[in-house]
């Protein structure tokens, strides 16, 4: 893999990841862009004990452009995009409309009782373009291309974890208009958060409570071992990875992919696991595209890497120990519950965070085994 870092016309960084060591990436960004001016603030919710980002500048972000004006396609004469090069393998650049940006700043606690805590939304948001082919998808990539994306995710995780104020790095892909995607070019995003996300904090608490209750056993290890022993919800069991529909799946079709053995983040993956990943992940994505038959060949989905936080405010040695107990895993799920019908997060899910799943996890796993590649 060859890595090349350049700057766009407004000062944002763009990084190219190439399969060929002799690739040259030096095309200048010829667009007449002003320097970026963005600001993010995070505000603390004392009732839920979690942070919310407030980002007014994102109201003006690009929305459903025509294919011939896609900002993620390579630039060509007469049409300049976010990618100055005429072609690329994988390109990563700072989001023009980031949810988190800049460095850390002091926390202010306003209001009569100091309950209105807020501080700068330090961090960084990046766009990851998986391929220059606008009509492709991650599922249509070759194994070599998928491995390059994995290497890019890993490299960005390592770099973003060093940014001041960043606590957690989240690599993810949204696919499909049903998910809310506004750009159809195959791409994902990376968020470098200035806090540990509520979902991760909750998993860490559950793992700590389980360890205390069981004399030090690891919750993630025992969940994976239990799913393998049960077998009903296993979708794919390879040498270095296992994928299953969780026993209490929230979504109609939801798969969790874990490496064997447990590691806290992408950086800690073994070379053997990295080498096997493309085949395993591409097979899962291709099965997802077959769930609802040939008339709906592109299943909308979210693919999300859960990684341990790299630092957490005030946790000290206890936080460092908890980090090593966390298990890297990828969560893949679709909002489609059956052909032509979506799973909407209505009153129970959105109002009370209680999911109601119409598809039994065992049936979902069976369907995902039925549509395996032959």
3-state SS track over the chain: CEEEEEECCCCCEEEEEECCCCCCCCCCCCCCCCCCCCCCEEEEECCCCEEEEECHHHHHCCCCCCHHHCCCCECECCECCCECCCCCCEEEEECCCCCCCCCCCCCEEECCCCCEEEEECCCEEEEEECCCCCCCCHHHCCHHHHHHHHHHHHHHHHHHCCCCCCCEEEEEEEECHHHCCCCCCCEEEEEEECCCCHHHHHHHHHHHHHHHHHCCCCHHHHHHHHHHHHCCCEEEECCCEEEECCCCCCCCEEEEEEECCCCCCHHHCCHHHHHHHHHHHHHHHHHHCCCCCCCCCCCCEEEEEECCCCCCCCCHHHHHHHHHHCCCEEEEEECEEECCEECCCCHHHHHHCCCCCCCCHHHHHHHHHHCCCC
Q: Which residue has the tokens 């049409």?
A: 79
Q: Which contacts of 169-174 are long-range, i.e. CB under 8 A and separated by 24 or more positions?
A: 169/193, 169/265, 169/307, 169/310, 170/197, 170/304, 170/305, 170/307, 171/128, 171/266, 171/304, 171/305, 171/307, 172/302, 172/303, 172/304, 172/305, 173/138, 173/301, 173/302, 173/303, 173/304, 174/302
The residues annotated with a catalytic role in the active site are 187
Contact 198, 50 (CB under 8 A): yes
């Amino acid at each position: 893999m060859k890595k090349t870092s350049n700057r766009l016309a407004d000062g944002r960084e763009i990084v190219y990841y190439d399969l060929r060591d002799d690739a040259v990436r030096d095309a200048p960004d010829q667009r007449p862009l002003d320097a970026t001016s963005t600001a993010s603030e995070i505000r603390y919710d004392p009732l839920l004990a979690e942070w919310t980002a407030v980002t007014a500048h994102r109201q003006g972000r690009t929305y459903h452009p025509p294919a011939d004006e896609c900002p993620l396609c390579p630039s060509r004469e007469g049409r300049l995009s976010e990618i100055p090069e005429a072609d690329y393998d994988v390109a990563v650049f700072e989001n023009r409309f980031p949810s988190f940006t800049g460095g850390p700043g002091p926390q202010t606690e306003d209001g009569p009782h100091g309950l209105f805590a807020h501080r700068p939304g330090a961090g960084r948001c990046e766009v990851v373009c998986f391929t220059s082919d606008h009509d492709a998808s991650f599922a249509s990539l070759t194994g070599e291309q998928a491995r390059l994306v994995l290497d890019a995710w890993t490299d960005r995780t390592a770099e973003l974890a060093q940014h001041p104020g960043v606590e957690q790095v989240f690599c993810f892909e949204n696919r499909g208009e049903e998910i809310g995607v506004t750009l159809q070019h195959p791409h994902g995003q990376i968020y470098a958060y200035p806090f540990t996300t509520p979902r991760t904090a909750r998993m860490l608490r559950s793992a700590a409570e389980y360890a205390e209750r069981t004399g030090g056993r690891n919750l993630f290890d025992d969940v994976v071992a239990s799913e393998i022993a049960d077998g009903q919800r296993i979708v794919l069991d390879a040498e270095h990875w296992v994928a299953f529909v969780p026993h209490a799946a929230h979504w109609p079709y939801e798969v969790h992919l874990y490496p064997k053995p447990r590691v806290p983040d992408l950086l800690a993956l073994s070379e053997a696991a990295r080498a096997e990943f493309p085949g395993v992940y591409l097979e899962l994505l291709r099965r997802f595209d077959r769930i609802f038959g040939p008339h709906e060949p592109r299943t909308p989905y979210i693919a999300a890497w859960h990684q341990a936080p790299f630092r957490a405010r005030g946790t000290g040695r206890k936080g460092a120990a908890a980090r090593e107990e966390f298990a890297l895993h990828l969560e893949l799920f679709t909002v489609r519950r059956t052909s032509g019908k979506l799973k909407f997060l209505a009153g129970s899910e959105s109002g009370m965070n209680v999911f109601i799943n119409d598809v039994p996890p065992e049936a979902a796993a069976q369907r995902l085994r039925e549509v395996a590649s032959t």
